[in-house]
Amino acid sequence: MPFTFKSIDHIQLAAPKGSEDKTRTFFKDLLGFDEVEKPEALKKHGGVWFEFANHQIHIGIEEPFYPAKKAHPAFEVENIEALKQHLVTNGIDVMEDDRIPGVKRFFISDPFGNRMELLERVKS
């Protein structure tokens, strides 16, 4: 083919109207993502953007809002056990899943019910 996919630029998740502060508390304060300034032309729509490494997560406002219960982003992390303990200590429910060989993983929901997967590849 005459084209090549290079990477994922960003992930878009939705949140209800007026949820920006709660979004910051979860993604910035709890998960440690950096907030990114939205382009001026998009600020009027609400929402918040974050990044880690070379990846961005855009939390957009959607009305009416329905959380993504099956579709989800998956984040590869280092030291997943420490992350899990951090989340549990902060009142986040963790749903463990061991169905993929060579991968430690669990699922959480953001404050709005969107499903998120966190995983770490096990070195053999």
> What pLDDT score was predicted for residue 34?
98
Segments forming the whole domain that contains residue 46: 10-121
Phi, psi of 101 (to 5 degrees): -60, 140
> What pLDDT score was predicted for residue 3?
83
Q: How far is CA 67 from CA 13, 30, 76, 79, in A?
A: 9, 20, 22, 28
Answer yes or no: is 57 within a domain: yes
The pair of three-digit structure tokens given for residue 123, joined into one six-digit string = 């070195």
Q: What is the pLDDT of residues 31-72, one digit of tens each?
A: 999 999 999 999 999 999 999 999 999 999 999 999 999 999
Answer yes or no: is 2 within a domain: no
**Which of 113, 88, 91, 94 shows the shortest CA–CA distance to 23?**
113
Predicted model pTM: 0.93
Number of domains in the chain: 1
CATH number at residue 100: 3.10.180.10
Average model confidence (pLDDT) across the chain:
96
Answer yes or no: is 110 within a domain: yes
Answer yes or no: is 116 within a domain: yes
